[in-house]
Amino acid sequence: MELKAASKDLVARLAGHHAPASGDPVDPYLPTAGNHGYRVARYELDLTYKMSSNNLRGEAVITATATEPLDALRLDLSPHLDVSKVTIDRGRVARYSRPRGKLAVTLAEPLEPGTEFTLTIRYSGNPRPIRGTWGEVGWEELTDGVLVANQPNGAASWFPCDDHPSSKAPFRIRLTTDSPYRAVVTGALVGKKRSGSTTTWEFDLPYPTSTYLVTINLGRYEHLKVGDGAVPVHAFLPADLKRGFRQAFARQTEMIDVFSGLFGPYPFDEYTVVVTDDELEIPLEAMGMSTFGRGTAESGDRDERLIAHELAHQWFGNAVTAAEWKHIWLHEGFACYAEWLWTEFSGGADAGSHALRYYSKLQNSPQDILLADPGPKDMFDDRIYKRGALTLHALRQAVGDTAFFDLLRAWVSTYSGRTATTDDFLRMAADHSPVDLQPLWDAWLFSEPLPPTLGMPHDHPGRR
């Protein structure tokens, strides 16, 4: 199934996560994020933001379906945002409370499983990042603008939501803000209206999307149309960076063509790149969009691998999303290997050369991470990226190029718009392999020490 063809019924059916008992966390890696008892089918956000005072006013209309008997439910929402009113089915006022990091809503009448309902939540406040194990994530003020970096649990910093990657839904976002600033929001721009000193921007995101992949960028940006390829590419950046951008991102449309051949058609209607006027420590991926700091646009071709990495996330992470954070290698290992594939298929060093280099580096690094379940503290460790890429290279060596790339294309085609697990990938790989892959998985995914060689292990003790 291609993501572009996902029907509304399919979107609703696939949007939910596989919930364990209600008392358990949705994801042990983020025990306070995500919620049980319902499945979100759609978010509609109407936001007004005042730049000078960092003041956000919002109304969120959330359509959902009960997955178990419900007399109350919870949403994720930062304590820095105040709720003024909650109604259900666009009329009945609901009682609510604010346990830390949550919005708890008491329903006037219990809902049976399968019942669709709509919550309307009015809220306001001064949004700020959410602090956690990985630093600060979410709404962030720039020197003269805003960016939103939600991964992994920052969406609750600016709207009430079911903040877990397995909870996917379409979005409609209206944002009114000061007219000197351009709003670049996840989705297609479908409306723009200026009124006095403010402009209202409206965006539609029809694809089933995890909350961490929805973003807002506000800045004094100019629009630059990039290339004439099959996929429309747009850039938004400060005017003084245009020349540098054209050099640094010169091969971006070629990357789309290469990856489309290797992984299957680009999953969305268009691709957007935002370059902020501030420096960013790392680039950020979102649904159909990537955000970079100004340093990337001033780097010549030195950051080409980062540009390829963020683009690759459109297939691995955004179209196909990990069902739980422990499967993060399905995002980062794949995007890292895509960097190596880009150089190989664009005239540079082949992936094998990169693999030998990073295998040697990992040999000299602590070997105390389990790739298939690294733990929350280490899930963004660079060793996950590199060992994940090495695992894919070992798989490619084991099955051959034809089967390997057939597998990657089948993976994206089958799971686009959905969430998936490591076991899902292993089962699909078995269907594409002429050899038994269990020794490879035991060595690369389910053991901490590196295998003694880069290729397929032949004499490994097995899964521990």
Catalytic residue annotation: 310, 385
**Cα dihedral 318, 352, 344, 293 sign:** positive
234: tokens are 């747009």
Backbone φ and ψ for 291, nearest 5 degrees, come out as -120, 130
Is residue 313 annotated as involved in ligand binding? Answer: yes
Asked if residues 55 and 126 have their Cβ atoms less than 8 Å apart, the reply is: yes
Neighbours of 310 (CB within 10 A): 24
Sheet holding 216-219, edge to edge: 130-132, 135-142, 145-149, 216-219, 182-185
What values do phi and psi take at 281, rounded to 5?
A: -65, -40
Q: HEC states along 219-280?
A: ECCEEEEECCCCCCEEEEECHHHHHHHHHHCCCHHHHHHHHHHHHCCCCCCCEEEEECCCCC
Torsion of the alpha carbons at 145, 157, 270 and 311, rounded to the nearest 10? 90
Residues 6+ apart with CB under 8 A from 143: 277, 278
Q: CA-CA distance, 163 to 161, in Å (whole number)?
A: 5
Amino acid identity, position 343: T
Unique residue bearing structure tokens 């969406």: 155
Q: How far is CA 319 from CA 122, 143, 200, 419, 452, in A?
A: 30, 32, 28, 9, 34
Radius of gyration from C-alpha coordinates of the chain: 22
309 is in an annotated binding site: yes
Query: Which residue in the block uniquely carries the two structure tokens 């921007």?
Result: 201
Q: Angle at which helices 329-345 and 382-399 pack, to 10 degrees?
A: 60
Q: Which of 151, 184, 170, 372 is nearest to 272 (CA)?
A: 184
- Tell which residue, 113, 50, 62, has the closest CA to residue 87: 62
Any residues with CB less than 8 A from the CB of 257 and at least 6 apart, and which? 229, 230
Q: How is residue 55 written in tokens?
A: 């003041």
Instruction: Output the known binding site for Zn(2+).
Output: 309, 313, 332
